[in-house]
Structure formats: structure tokens, C-alpha cells
């Protein structure tokens, strides 16, 4: 079974977002083994600048990056895919021998340069800006949609 890890900075606070995440966790069970890892989101203070926060979160994220997975950073400057192209991307990388995928969602300032440089794939969910909590639901829904497309189900119709 395909392994998928979603690494996200900060805890999911909103109950309706938690419910959405649970919904897609349940739906994805038939296609993938999903693990959600929430790393500590650094507090924004006067004594910590943006770079220090990004570096601290980046170190925490790095601990969960596994070499046999394809690392995908969610980044505003990343590539935008249609749902069908994203499904083909997933399929191609599975055929090429990746054991799974790690999707990384940054905190309020995004992701550190070190994490972005380490990720061979940068993915933008939209030209619009979403909170990092809502981004979790969006990427989970798109992962589920991709597997549904590959399986030929009616979900994508």
C-alpha cells in the first residue's frame, strides 16, 4: 500500500477543519496508509525574526523526512497541477519506484529555504492564499481525488 505522510507546522485548531481531515483520512484508507505529523509551530515574537522561526520549524520537519519517499513542499511559487495531471504525477512516481510521498505544509511564514531546496517538487495549491490549516484539507482532498481518478471511480466526475 502507498504510504503518504502529511507534515504540517502547528496543530489543527478549528473543529470543522479537524472533521474535514478525519473525513479524508477515512476515505484514503482504501488507497494509502496516511500519517499526519504536526510539528510545533514557532510563536511569532519580537525576539524571533522570520528566518529564525523558519529555521526552527525546518529542523523539526527534517526529522520526519525519509529517503525512500518523494518530498513535496507546498509552496506559493510551486507548480500548479490540474487534478488529472496530479493523478498522473502520483502514478508516474509510483511506477518509478517511490515507496510513498511526503507532503509538507509550512507555518505562517511558509517553509525554510533548506526544506524548499531539499524538496524536488514544489506544489502550489492555487494562486490564492490559504491558511496552513485549510491547506491540509485541500491537499488531502486532492490526494484522494488523484487516487479516485487512477482507480476510475465516479468521485472525480
pLDDT at 84: 96
pLDDT at 37: 97
pLDDT block averages, 10 residues each, the chain of length 157: 95 95 96 96 81 92 93 96 97 90 94 96 94 94 97 84
Task: Count structural domains, the chain.
Answer: 1
CA 88 to chain centroid = 17
User: Buried (b) or exposed (e) across 107-140, using 16+ Cβ within 10 A?
Assistant: bbbbbbeebbebbebbbebeeeebebbbbbbbbb
Residue 43 within a domain: yes
pLDDT at 157: 67
pLDDT at 68: 87
3-class DSSP state of 116: helix
* Structure-block grid coordinates of residue 8: 504540517
The four Cα atoms 147, 142, 15, 74 give a dihedral, to 10 degrees, of 130
Q: How far apart are CA 74 and CA 80, in angstroms?
A: 10
Residue 157 within a domain: no
CATH classification at residue 101: 3.40.1280.10
C-alpha angle with apex 155: 89 to 22, nearest 5 degrees? 85
Residue 156 within a domain: no
Tell me the pTM: 0.94
Q: How far apart are CA 48 and CA 142, in angstroms?
A: 34
Question: Residue 102 sits in which domain range?
Answer: 2-151
C-alpha angle with apex 58: 56 to 39, nearest 5 degrees? 85
Amino acid at each position: 500500500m502507498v504510504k503518504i505522510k502529511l507534515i504540517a507546522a502547528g496543530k489543527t485548531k478549528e473543529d470543522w477543519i479537524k472533521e474535514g481531515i478525519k473525513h479524508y483520512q477515512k476515505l484514503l484508507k482504501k488507497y494509502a496508509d496516511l500519517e499526519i505529523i504536526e510539528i510545533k509551530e514557532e510563536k511569532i515574537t519580537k525576539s524571533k525574526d522570520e528566518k529564525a522561526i523558519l529555521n526552527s520549524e525546518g529542523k523539526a520537519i527534517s526529522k520526519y523526512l525519509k529517503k525512500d519517499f518523494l518530498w513535496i513542499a507546498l509552496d506559493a511559487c510551486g507548480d500548479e497541477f490540474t487534478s488529472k495531471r496530479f493523478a498522473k504525477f502520483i502514478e508516474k512516481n509510483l511506477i518509478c519506484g517511490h515507496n510513498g510521498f511526503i507532503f509538507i505544509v509550512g507555518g505562517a511564514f511558509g517553509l525554510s529555504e533548506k526544506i524548499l531546496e531539499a524538496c524536488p517538487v514544489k506544489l502550489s495549491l492555487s494562486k490564492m492564499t490559504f491558511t496552513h490549516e485549510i491547506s491540509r484539507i485541500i491537499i488531502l482532498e486532492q490526494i484522494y481525488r488523484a487516487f479516485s481518478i487512477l482507480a476510475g471511480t465516479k468521485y472525480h466526475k
